[in-house]
Amino acid sequence: MKSTLIVLALTAAASAQPYSLLPSSSMEREACLPPCACPYTHTFGTVWGTFSLALLDTNPLYTRYRLNNIHWNADFSPGYATMTGSGTYTIGGEVAIAQRLELSLTIGSLTVITDFDSGLVPMDPSHPFPQISIGTFAEPVCRREQLRITATSSTCYGNCDGSTNPPILTANDFICYLNAYARKSLWAECDGSMGTPVLTPNDFQCFLNAYAVGCS
């Protein structure tokens, strides 16, 4: 199984592959945990955006990839936080397949880089590689941040749930989009208008058009 995974990994990432975050991606922030003396705050928002994944190196146990060109946004309504940076993704293992995500991100207008590290954790069986589904954590001074990343190399917008088994487009993609729209996630902002309100029936029509075109 391990050798099959490595062959798949090398084939999938012979060059940098574009990736997109799926609507289930999210960010949670807790500020002023003890012993910091300031008001406690808790925020949660969906995350959307893109990055590229390229093979970094491989050994008998693990394959490592480089995440470049990270451009993400966390939807902390009424505002949002931009995230840029890079990282590494490790996958492999001697018996069970495990994964690790390490990120160095600049969040918002701050010049301070926040380092995230998931540690080595089990794979998510519902999102087998080359999909990526993993939570990673950071604990800078007086706050804790958790990113939950679910990403796919598919650039097909109609494939909302990121499925890879045929048929790619199913009723589950409609449910996925409707859930994102109901949460007012900016991932559902399909037509690029970004007006007020951000989400309108035009976005739903845009998704229907993308679904009708299909995934090549």
Q: Are residues 98 and 190 in the same domain?
A: no
pLDDT at 7: 44
> What is the tally of structural domains in the chain?
2
pLDDT at 164: 77
Instruction: Say if CB 127 and CB 135 are below 8 A apart.
Output: no
Q: Are residues 121 and 213 in the same domain?
A: no
Q: Pick the closest to residue 76 from 42, 44, 109 (CA basis).
A: 44
What pairs with residue 82 in β-bridges? 73
Q: Pick the closest to residue 183 from 75, 102, 89, 111 (CA basis).
A: 75
Does residue 85 sit in helix, strand or coil? strand
What pairs with residue 63 in β-bridges? 58, 91
- Among the candidates 118, 153, 188, a domain finishes at 153
Q: Are residues 161 and 192 in the same domain?
A: yes
Q: Are residues 44 and 107 in the same domain?
A: yes
Q: What is the mean pLDDT of each run of 10 residues along the chain (216 residues)?
A: 44 70 90 79 88 94 96 80 93 91 88 89 90 93 90 83 83 88 80 78 88 83
Q: Are residues 47 and 148 in the same domain?
A: yes
Q: Are residues 89 and 40 in the same domain?
A: yes
pLDDT tens track for 12-61: 445 789 898 988 899 998 888 777 878 888 888 889 888 999 999 999 99
Q: Which pTM value belongs to this model?
A: 0.79
Q: Are residues 145 and 160 in the same domain?
A: no
Rounded to the nearest 10 degrees, the angle between the axes of helix 171-182 and helix 201-213 is: 160
CATH code for the domain of 11: 2.40.128
What's the distance, CA 32 to chain centroid? Answer: 26
**CA–CA dist 28, 42 (Å, integer):** 7
- Among the candidates 108, 136, 153, a domain finishes at 153
Q: Are residues 7 and 54 in the same domain?
A: yes
Q: Are residues 87 and 188 in the same domain?
A: no
Q: Are residues 74 and 161 in the same domain?
A: no
Count other C-beta atoms under 10 Å from residue 104's C-beta.
17
| Domain ranges, residue 211 | 156-216
**In sequence order, which residues have a C-beta less than 8 Å from that of residue 164 and are 6 or more positions away?**
128, 131, 152, 154
- Among the candidates 153, 170, 188, a domain finishes at 153
